[in-house]
Amino acid sequence: MNSIMLVATRALVAPKPVSKPRAPEKVPRVVRLLALAHHFQKLLDDGWVSDYADIARLAGVSRARVSQIMDLLLLAPSIQEAMLLDHKALPREILSSEKAVFRLSRVPEWKEQVKGLRGIAAAPFLYLWVRIASQPKLFSVSRRKGSCP
């Protein structure tokens, strides 16, 4: 008797190309510093450290730098929330300028901080120009008769 042999064949399918894993998203430095400030405050509140000097020793930075980082906690809660939860929604100019954010944290009124943030976002170059123009002159140039221009 003739036996019929069934042979199962599998279609050869090319394997899917392996995609490179995505690099983790780079969180802006000032956002990481704000998160670090909250961590430092938690250490202080829980009694793990007694003062900024202890934090500075543990972190290997100066006390002045710790104070600067902790000043970020003086930002308006709405600004902190935007930075920590949805930093992509903030303009890049704000997050790329640490100095601007630290300067903003020194403004005592939260409403004024929010206005300042909007001002930086609306016209970053104008903000930079006003800041430079308001700096005291480092040197003065006097022209004498017969001197080169």
pLDDT per residue as tens digits for the range 76-102 = 999 999 899 988 878 777 788 888 899
Q: Is the CB of residue 119 less than 8 Å from the CB of residue 94?
A: no
The domain spans of the chain are: 29-133
| Distance (Å) of CA 129 to CA 54, 62, 68, 123, 137 | 39, 31, 24, 10, 14
Locate tokens 């599998």: which residue?
10
- 97/122 Cα distance (integer angstroms): 14
This model's pTM is above 0.85 = no
Cβ atoms < 10 Å from Cβ of 69: 20
CATH numeric code, 29-133 = 1.10.10
pLDDT in tens, 24-74: 778 899 999 999 999 999 999 999 999 999 999 999 999 999 999 999 999
